[in-house]
Structure 1
């Protein structure tokens, strides 16, 4: 599948730098996850290479901010593996107590004080630590944006679990909408914007053109991941939550679905470039730092997916 992805997906025409501190942050983030009890050993997390992805998405950030993004990605990988590989996401009634406990953590918004023991366990401790560190930057709008995006992510996991319980493959349009949230893209972009001080002004964020570009970026990040990860996700039986799977359901032909998924990615990349130019023409260089962040994520996801042992 990796050879198909490389041949069929258009390479994003953006620079692909990597942070010089990636290896250091990888070690520190693995220790963080181990100390919290998120992992019992680092093998699966090392294969995921959260720092490799963060270092590409955030190539010029201060080390502490790169570390925070890496820890978030590590947390998301642990949660993803718990749902997809360890069975937590197979039954919404089993997943719901964990989601409820994590929502309780988000409601506290990183306020000082102990995190009550609950169904989320180490996942709750890790999320609370991330919220406290975001709060420490004293950017209330960023904290609210981060916690809101994490809520959307958690509720989207319940949608996945309900689909698995009923053996349901969602329609393409529904999948596209929900994938933007199950992929954890929006909280990751929030911490990347924070790391690089790249937030667009509030008046620009209210522009419908900005919302459209944000959706295009999320689609490109998630669909690139879907194509590269398709083989891995099918090893234990078909997974309904992949663009190729939902397109196969629609067309009845897996080969046609593979080509259609690649075509969708390539078409979205063209649309993204047009949307970027339109926003720069309307708003000027005030948006450039935020646009650079999204370029880094699109290119970084592509480069990381080509190399990550997670999808080997």
Structure 2
């Protein structure tokens, strides 16, 4: 064998190198820094123990879940909510529209009737949701409880929309995608744990400027979440509901150019949020003080989300902090998920093994 045939040519060397995905540092200019609740670790252990008691996943998928780090009283509600989001997401992502409608109907009924016992033999989503909100509602003001139920119901209905898109293999336009994803990302119900102790009246909470601020924050969360999750989603064939796929499809752009488009849009949304802060009306000192607390809470969410993307293990496995520094991640090869596995046997992939 000749020396030339044994050695790799530059072309074959290039082919041997995995394609790298660049993750822009979109949050570098965001004014709100990283912060963490001092009770986080203690309350996370309590919430995770409660969640595991339902045995919602088989051993392998529970292990994959445990690699994702989600997490007194209001903090517990927030961490429990992340667990509820996770199990609803994993259970519904592999089901057709008709089954998703049935599952979501159960969850909505449990949410609206947390004191009603769930039927024997019902899917575990109902009892998880019932226990979650039966506990959370006790620590919420009437105003906050109402806002949460409305927001979480909107989120749940958006899961049905996503299932329909999945069945139809539909990729939306950017505007269509953001409209449904603002609910589907779960941002609005996630804001509420920061509101549980507040009594913001509807005329202030639902004021157009306040809603505008909420949706700008939701958009930032969407964009950063989609950038972080794209690698895992494209590898497992679940990237229809991702802004990068949507932009590539609508504007016929390659991935690097789609990423630039998303970064530019991210900058525009940041500017809109900061401008919106200047237009928040005054409703008198008592309400204004509560509104200021709420706005400060939602303004911290994009930073929280960005940190979680890299620290949790959900999207980058054990290499999250390393990738957060380098901003480069090898593009994962395609892997077919076991879509025949459902409910407690759903296939939750371990990122490090993809």
- TM-score range (shorter-chain normalised) is 0.7 to 0.9
The offset of 1:107, in angstroms, is: 3.1
1:218 is aligned to 218
2:136 is aligned to 134
Counterparts of 1:196-211 in structure 2, within 5 Å, are 197-198=197-198, 200-211=200-211
Conserved? CA contact 2:141–2:199, under 8 Å: no
Structure 2 counterpart of 1:83, from 92, 102, 106:
92
**Superposed CA offset, 1:108-156 (max 9, x none):** 1x23x4222364x221111101221233236333222222222211111
1:297 is aligned to 301
**Superposed CA offset, 1:186-213 (max 9, x none):** 111112211xx34544332242111111
Cα pair distance change 1:135/1:287, threshold 3 Å: closer
More helix by share: 1
2:252 is aligned to 252
Conserved? CA contact 2:158–2:180, under 8 Å: yes
Cα pair distance change 1:289/1:122, threshold 3 Å: same
The offset of 1:17, in angstroms, is: 1.1
Cα pair distance change 1:14/1:198, threshold 3 Å: farther
The offset of 1:165, in angstroms, is: 0.8
Cα pair distance change 1:123/1:12, threshold 3 Å: same
Which range is displaced more, 16-25 or 133-142? 133-142
Structure 2 counterpart of 1:99, from 100, 104, 122:
104
Question: Distance in 2 between the 1:216 and 1:66 partners?
Answer: 24
In the alignment, structure 1 residue 123 sits paired with structure 2 residue 128: no
1:36 is aligned to 54
The offset of 1:9, in angstroms, is: 4.9
Cα pair distance change 1:12/1:176, threshold 3 Å: same
The offset of 1:39, in angstroms, is: 3.6
1:54 is aligned to none
1:265 is aligned to 266
In structure 2, the residue corresponding to 1:19 is in which secondary structure? coil
Conserved? CA contact 2:74–2:139, under 8 Å: no
In the alignment, structure 1 residue 158 sits paired with structure 2 residue 152: no
Question: Distance in 1 between the 2:47 and 2:300 partners?
Answer: 21
- Consecutive unaligned residues in structure 1, runs of 5 or more: 52-62
Root-mean-square deviation over aligned CA pairs: 2.3
